[in-house]
Amino acid sequence: MDTSSAELELYGLPPEDFIMARNDLAKAAMAAGDVAASAQVKTLRKPTLAAWLANQLVRAVPERIDELTELGAELRDAHLSRDGARLRILTPRRHDIVTELVRTARSLARDRGRKLTDAVADRLTETLDAALVDPGAAQLLRTGRLTSALRHVGFGVVDEAGEPAQIVSTLPERPARTPAAAKRAKPKARSRADDKALELRRRQLQDQVAEAVAEYDEAEAERAKVESELDANEHHIADMRTAIERLHDELERVRRELKDAQAQTGRLERAMTRATRAAAVAARRRDATQQRLASFEV
């Protein structure tokens, strides 16, 4: 299984679909006999909302993400060279591109039926700023597989929990050995005693592997259970927040109606006062007319 492509596909899914899709993918890899790929897929973490939005930006507007990371390299170079004039030109661009990307993320969230809260927008802004400041954070962002928002602090890049961000580094290859070194490293012929010792060690390691696999399976089952409960709880929280927003909107609507009704009450009370006065005047006019009529008839 091509785990890299599978991961890229998973981290493009909505967060609520991630766990089920990941577990299905792990089962498929296991059914295909790819135990290593199945184990690797099981370790993938569901992205937070801010991380998911950053991943969506990488997919929707990759050219803007490239522009962001390239601008970060230019800013770092200007800082190192103490080029004040260049910094004065680049700094406004930094603000503009981050603001534009957050605005794009709001639009993407809205298109997918989500509302981007201010708190999530702040974490996304911190992630984009971290990618501007730190080349390792830029590398992480461009993978499109963030699991957590990033934040640059004085000593490096951390995730939303304050833990150091997992940044993949490229290690140099080991230098090839010279023919002379290869000749010196030629292994000695093994004796039967050595073979027996190796076979015993191999069996011991197999037992240890079997024990470790069983322990891992038990731990993974517990982790999957807790993760499922956590996911359900996060959905419950999201539902309650949606309900609160709906009730808040309803409360605002009722308040407006109450204000209008109170204003209408004032208008009706004034109209009532005018009508009462007019009725009193009409009553006096009626009584006076009736009295004149009675006097005339007598």
**Final residue in a domain of this structure, among 165, 186, 211:** 165
Q: What is the pTM of this model?
A: 0.54
**Final residue in a domain of this structure, among 165, 183, 207:** 165
Query: Number of structural domains, the chain?
Result: 2
Q: What is the pLDDT of residues 33-52, one digit of tens each?
A: 888 888 888 889 999 999 99
Q: What is the pLDDT of residues 2-14, one digit of tens each?
A: 777 888 889 999 9
Of 111-115, 159-163, 186-190, 257-261, least confident by mean pLDDT is 159-163
> Domain range for residue 280?
197-298
Domain-located, residue 245 = yes
Q: What is the pLDDT of residues 147-203, one digit of tens each?
A: 999 988 654 454 555 454 554 433 333 344 444 444 454 555 667 777 788 888 888
Q: Are residues 296 and 237 in the same domain?
A: yes
pLDDT at 159: 56
Q: Are residues 69 and 146 in the same domain?
A: yes
Q: Are residues 161 and 223 in the same domain?
A: no
Total number of residues shown for the chain? 298
Check whether 289 has a pLDDT greater than 80.
yes
pLDDT at 67: 95
Instruction: Please tell me the distance from the alpha carbon of residue 268 to that of residue 18, in angstroms, as a whole number.
Output: 59
Q: Are residues 102 and 210 in the same domain?
A: no
Q: Are residues 219 and 160 in the same domain?
A: no
Q: Are residues 76 and 155 in the same domain?
A: yes
Domain-located, residue 3 = no
Domain-located, residue 9 = no
Coil, strand or helix: which one is 116?
A: coil
Domain-located, residue 189 = no
Domain-located, residue 188 = no
Instruction: Please tell me the distance from the alpha carbon of residue 232 to that of residue 228, in angstroms, as a whole number.
Output: 6
Count the neighbouring beta carbons within 10 Å of the beta carbon of residue 73. Answer: 12
**Final residue in a domain of this structure, among 125, 150, 165:** 165
Average per-residue pLDDT for the chain? 82
Domain-located, residue 263 = yes
Q: Are residues 154 and 201 in the same domain?
A: no
Cβ contact 165:153 at 8 Å: no
CA distances to 201, 284, 287 from 294, rounded to whole Å, are 134, 15, 11
Stated as kind and residue range, the H or E segment containing 22 is helix 15-31
